[in-house]
Amino acid sequence: MMNIHIMTLFPEMVMGGLGTSIIGRAMDKGILSIEAVNIRDYAYNKHQSVDDYPYGGGAGMLMQAEPVYQCYQAIQEKINAAKREKSADIDKEEKSISEKKTRVLYMSPQGRTFSQRMAEELAEEEELIFLCGHYEGIDERVLEEIVTDYVSIGDYVLTGGELPAMVMVDAISRMVPGVLHNDVSAEFESFQGNLLEYPQYSRPEIWHEKRVPEILLSGHHANIEKWRREQSVIRTALNRPDLLDKAELTKQERELAVSCSSVRKE
């Protein structure tokens, strides 16, 4: 079970994007809980404004420290209350584990680049808090106090942290046991083992005069596995040769990869 809390000015955007399909189903099943918390609910003036001009001048508005801080405190208090309730009947050792500080992830192009490995690591956490900035960013002082990890989803600039948070929540959630229909499927996909996925085919057998590769109709599982593995190696060598250094390949697979790389250079 994992609890994800997303601090945002656009809760409908986040919940709309995550409430469907696989992630939505995991939420319905109770394997995953995702709540978007509206930072505006913690505004402290009567106009409910959460942004102001930057000191020193410059373009745009900044999100102010206090509403973000109050929002964070409310989430942390909720987490602590739930933990206290749960730990009333568990032993001390477990209690000390559950009292460690919840990670607060701030979506920022200045952060460490998100990766499959990071998704796997974060999927081990019981609670995660995401902080989505908007406008030109957030007052530095509250970031210093609450953020534990600065994370970027790639070298491009978006208008806010909501899409990055949704990307991360999706990638992390599918690594939580029980979210995918079977536990095997997460292991075999792109980037697991640092190889890209092999091509897949479904009915009909012939479509636009293209036949499904004969071997997939043979029913010979060992040969099919071998073919798929080769296809993964070929695709990786052609499209993402940078991944091959980290992949564990047999001598034959290494040779296959090298022969593809030379084709690529021509």
CB of 241 to ligand ADE, least distance (A): 25
Q: Which residue, 79 or 158, is less far from ligand ADE as judged by CB?
A: 158
Q: At what angle do helices 162-173 and 21-29 cross, to 10 degrees?
A: 60
Q: Which residue, 137 or 241, is less far from ligand ADE as judged by CB?
A: 137
CB of 168 to ligand ADE, least distance (A): 9
Measured CA to CA in angstroms, residue 150 lies from 24, 101, 219 at distances of 26, 16, 48
CB of 147 to ligand ADE, least distance (A): 12
What is the binding site for ligand ADE (CB under 6 A)? 107-109, 152-154, 156-158, 161, 164
CB of 138 to ligand ADE, least distance (A): 11
Q: What is the torsional sign of CA 83, 86, 87, 88?
A: positive
Q: Which residue, 155 or 266, is less far from ligand ADE as judged by CB?
A: 155
The string of DSSP letters for 177-221 reads TTSSSSTTTTTTSTTGGG-PPPP---S-SEETTEEPPGGGGS--H
d(CA 152, CA 172): 15
Q: Which residue, 129 or 237, is less far from ligand ADE as judged by CB?
A: 129
